[in-house]
């Protein structure tokens, strides 16, 4: 079977934390391409998740399977904590354009740590916020819900934003990943991929419900594959 050009990144925020290692292992065995780790500080978003100890705890499982940790910093002044999360095992760090005063410097600081750099945009933030930084980033993350809580519904207007960002990346010859996070499920994953996304973050759709983690990942990959079938 041909390799799928869209990555599926289960968000561990939706796991049962009494079974974190088990759920992460199930996601890896089930075909996860990346593991998405949401860091929330209770300031930038109205919730608190965890610090570097969680990515550090799951890093051995990810490293053994050669699965990258995709760490999303939903925190104010993320530049203060880049080194800690890099040391915890992040393969890439994504910061919010809204959360740091000196975005270019923060992106460069991430790269100096030897890892990939991403920039995230909240639903109401214009794409112009990343226009000047595009040549320097490895990933742009479009939030398709207001960040801070899992289980929210996908904001329909996000699809237009994804299409516009895809055109922007193509026009500039950028190979940056276009990641989308929020309200993604097997019901809308194909449409989001068709709009131009190349990485899909899913939490509740992967780790909750009646089906197994592996079955949920397989279902999402199968519906996305229809976009690329001849």
**Which residues participate in catalysis according to the annotation?**
38, 181
H/E segment holding residue 27:
helix 20-29
- 35-40 and 69-74: which strand pairing? parallel
Place of tokens 């226009």: 131
Cβ contact 180:6 at 8 Å: no
- Check: CB of residue 34 under 8 Å from CB of residue 9: yes
Strand, coil or helix: 116? strand
Residue that the structure tokens 């980033």 belong to = 137
The Cα-based distances of 22 to 17, 28, 58, 211 in angstroms read 9, 10, 10, 15
Residue 140, token pair as written in the block: 């742009």
Q: Confirm if 67 and 33 have CB atoms less than 8 A apart.
A: yes
Contact 195, 169 (CB under 8 A): no
Beta-bridge partners for 21? none
Q: How many CB atoms within 10 Å of residue 48?
A: 13
């Amino acid at each position: 079977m041909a390799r799928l050009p869209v990555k599926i990144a289960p968000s561990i925020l939706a796991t049962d934390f009494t079974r974190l290692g088990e759920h992460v292992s199930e996601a890896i065995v089930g075909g996860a391409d990346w593991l998405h780790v949401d860091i929330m500080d209770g300031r930038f978003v109205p919730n608190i998740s965890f610090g570097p100890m969680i990515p550090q705890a799951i890093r051995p499982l990810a490293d053994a399977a050669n699965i990258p940790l995709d760490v999303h910093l939903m925190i104010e002044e993320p530049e203060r904590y880049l080194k800690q999360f890099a040391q915890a095992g992040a393969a890439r760090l994504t910061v919010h354009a809204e959360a740091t005063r000196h975005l270019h410097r923060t992106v460069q600081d991430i790269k100096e740590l030897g890892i990939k750099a991403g920039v995230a945009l909240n639903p109401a933030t214009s794409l112009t916020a990343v226009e000047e930084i595009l040549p320097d980033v490895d990933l742009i993350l479009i939030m398709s819900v207001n960040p801070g809580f899992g289980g929210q519904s996908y904001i329909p207007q996000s699809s237009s934003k994804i299409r516009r960002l895809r055109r922007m990346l193509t026009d500039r010859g950028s190979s940056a990943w276009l990641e989308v996070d929020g309200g993604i499920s097997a019901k809308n994953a194909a449409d989001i991929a068709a709009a131009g996304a190349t990485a899909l973050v899913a939490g509740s759709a992967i780790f909750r419900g009646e089906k197994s983690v592996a079955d949920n990942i397989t279902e999402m990959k199968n519906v996305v594959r229809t976009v690329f079938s001849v």
